[in-house]
Amino acid sequence: MGIAVNGTDVTDAEISRELAHHQQAANPLKAAVHEVVLRRVLLAEADRLGIIDGSDDDRIEALFDREVSVPQADDEACRRYYQAHLQRYTSGEMVEARHILFQVTPAAPLELLRETGEQILAELQARPERFEELARQYSNCPSGAVGGSLGQLARGQCVPEFDALLFRLRPGELAGRLLETRFGLHVVQVLRRIEGRVLPFEAVRGHIADTLRRESWQRALHQYLHILVGRADIEGVALEGATSPLVQ
């Protein structure tokens, strides 16, 4: 069975044109199909409401402007968000850190690396003075040549999981477990920490209000898309409207 929206078939040509925009998706074909179908649903709703001027993108934007609205975040909501996310508004916070990277390769599968990494971590827990020596011997990162040193790192410089661990560790602390990232497995130690300065609420209130409004708008838009998808007659595909790139 083919794909149809409200009784009108979706053509292969439509999907092929859309496919070029989704090559980075986990499943490019699925993403393209969902996008084509959702656009059909949105344009049908624009027709129903008499929104007919401009390009398809203009009409969809006008539909959103008309049907999806959220209130401005008040001062109390902004202050709650600020207090709950003080780390985001801290300027100048840094750590000096070092690591040993065990990189996954065809010749070094994950389980073998994990076993080696656990042995090195246990050795460092017993004899921390060997960190530089073992980094030079085992690390697959260029930093291994300098004993694993990563220098000074600001919050946000590293991949999220590495960043989160760095800023949890105390000065001198060796992480008690291997950290797994897309680069491999890491033994991590923070040597020194430079505390940052929390920016005053007044300096970031506008940014917080924009953030809260954007988050509220996306939630409202997702809900609206689900309602439209539920009303539409869609054949041949199960559509999750909130996953569409239209709302990213």
| Domain count for the chain | 2
Confidence band of 245 (pLDDT split at 50, 70, 90):
very low
* Structural domain boundaries enclosing 151: 93-195
pTM of the model: 0.59
Query: Over 90: is that where the pLDDT of 45 sits?
Result: yes
User: pLDDT tens digits, residue range 130-160?
Assistant: 999 999 999 999 999 999 999 999 988 899 9
Query: Over 50: is that where the pLDDT of 246 sits?
Result: no
Q: Where are the beta strands (DSSP E) in 50-148?
A: 90-91, 94-102
116 with 175, same domain: the answer is yes
Query: Over 90: is that where the pLDDT of 24 sits?
Result: no
Q: In degrees rounded to 5, what are phi and psi of residue 210?
A: -65, -40
End-to-end CA distance of the chain: 30
In this prediction, residue 39 carries a pLDDT of 93
Query: Over 70: is that where the pLDDT of 27 sits?
Result: yes
In a domain, residue 118? The reply is yes
Mean pLDDT of 64-82: 93
210 with 180, same domain: the answer is no
